[in-house]
Amino acid sequence: MKQKTKNFFIIFLIILGFVFVSFSQAKPEPLKRKIVVFKPGIEEEVKEKIINSVGGEKIKDLKLIGGKAILLNPQAEKNLLKKSEILRIDEDVEVFALIKSTKINRIIPQPAQILPWGIDRIDAEKAWQDTTANSIKIGVLDTGIDLTHPDLKMNIKGGYNAINSRKLPQDDNGHGTHVAGIIAALNNTIGVVGVGPEIDLYAIKVLGASGSGYLSDVIEGLEWAVSNGIQVVNMSLGTDQDIQSFREAIKKAYGAGVTMVAAAGNDGGSVDYPAAYPEVIAVSATDEKDEIASWSSRGGEIDLAAPGVNIYSTYKGSTYKILSGTSMAAPHVTGVAALVIDSKKCDYDKNGICSPSEVQQRLEETAIDLAPVGKDILYGFGLVNAERALNY
């Protein structure tokens, strides 16, 4: 009797083991965000069928690069790579707002207007007698913009939410509003004033409340900018990963005539992407002594420098705040790019249009050279200067 009981117990354990193994094997594989790029000439209907055939879940179309953002498990990705219509599959990596530090000093709405030190340092106010960049369309690819901020709302002309197209591109973080204020805060009696106080702002929300987002949303944001005639795009965001789909999207936007400015990064090391791409104007950060910030990224990709330490600007909730980072440096350059485009001082070939390469050339040749002499890995061609860009 004892032997039978023992045998029964052993059989029970074996069966239990099989059940456990089967259950473990049956667990669904985790889904991961991927960017699937198709070969040219594949119709959208065919693309959809291919995705469905492997059990993929589409997140969004990425027409700028002929691809789609998709949720895939590892086996589905392997199956998809076997399809002759597939060009490649990239990681849909996270991108981050490039803020380094913040001062906890949110201020009561509508303080008296001041001229922030960064705006003063690049001589933006001296350029306003020539132009305030009225009607130049600037896209802020960021966390959105506070659409009701009294120092910005008159300049906000539209936008898009790439994270959720059914919602407004309202800033739920504060970073994008801060960037927007540096570019185009109104010249009124409150708060601050931007580089070009009559620039047309477009809020293109690609980062969420945490200040991070996905590459696919950034690519969709670039696509929206191209489709809507945006002339300059500010990207105070980045990743340390060079993703082919990102590189391709940047090239497409550049080819469409969009001037792109990006923050270099804040880890004191190599330049982040997209700033590291040659089609993008990479901006490092300086302090009030015109010295490079210790944390500002550096390298041969740096094109220009701009104020990025303790920058006072607009913030969500109709307030103001001091932030630091190459995120704050880039919009100084973006604003000057708008002034230059409006002035036509960058139209070297006299065809009535300032191409991205012409805009960059004008900004670089009129920058204030900082030691060492000539283009260098810290400041690029030097500190951007609005007055020189319009009158030099």
Active site residues: 142, 175, 327
Letter for the amino acid at 366? Answer: T
Residues 6+ apart with CB under 8 A from 222: 64, 141, 233, 249, 250, 252, 253, 258
**60 phi and psi angles, rounded to 5 deg:** -165, 160
* Element of type H or E holding 306: strand 304-307
Alpha helices in 154-228 (DSSP H): 175-184, 215-227
Peptide bond before residue 372 is cis, with ω within 30 degrees of 0? yes
| Pick from 261, 256, 230: nearest CA to 135 | 230
What is the rounded CA–CA span in Å between residue 330 and residue 195?
12
Residues 6+ apart with CB under 8 A from 192: 113, 114, 115, 116, 119, 151, 181, 185, 312, 313, 314, 320
Residue carrying structure tokens 């700033």: 275
**Pairing of the two strands 212-214 and 156-161:** unpaired
What tokens does 79 get?
């199956």
What is the rounded CA–CA span in Å between residue 182 and residue 313?
6
